[in-house]
A = this chain, B = another copy of it.
Amino acid sequence: MSIALQDYESCPVTAVLRRIGDKWSPAVIRLLAERGYGFNELDRAIEGISRRVLTRTLRALEEDGFVRRTPLGGRVEYALTERGRSLREQLYALGRWAAVTADRMH
């Protein structure tokens, strides 16, 4: 069996890993799982992220249907969609596995 070129991008698990495997997406998803957040609120909550990257991260998550952006007169609220909450469940399961087997992970 061999893996063709088009398989690599079309493989669902690879696609989702590449999307949320960046530096900040997991942190954003984790926060939005609690409640809705404003932009600067997120910026302050996630220590170390730059506004430029936060913007890009949110846009990408929005484009994939994980996050919904709602303008509310002068401010904006970001929240998880149903699909986003579904993803969050998957990541939670993966997190439990990772925590248990983290001994050889440095």
- Residues in chain B near residue A72, CB distance under 8 A: none
Q: How many residues of A contact B (CB 8 A)?
A: 48
A23 interface residue per 8 A CB criterion: yes
A44 interface residue per 8 A CB criterion: yes
Expressed in whole angstroms, the Cα–Cα distance for A102 and B92 within the complex equals: 19
Interchain residue pairs with CB less than 8 A apart (14): A5-B47, A8-B27, A11-B27, A12-B98, A12-B105, A13-B94, A16-B94, A17-B91, A18-B21, A21-B22, A65-B104, A65-B105, A86-B101, A90-B94
A17-B17, A21-B21 given; 18 more Cβ-contact pairs under 8 Å: A1-B31, A3-B46, A5-B48, A8-B23, A12-B98, A12-B99, A13-B26, A13-B95, A15-B98, A15-B102, A15-B105, A16-B105, A17-B91, A64-B104, A64-B105, A86-B101, A90-B93, A90-B94
Q: What residues of chain A have their CB less than 8 Å away from a CB belonging to chain B?
A: 1-5, 8, 11-24, 26-27, 30-31, 34, 44-48, 64-65, 83, 86-87, 90-95, 97-99, 101-102, 104-105
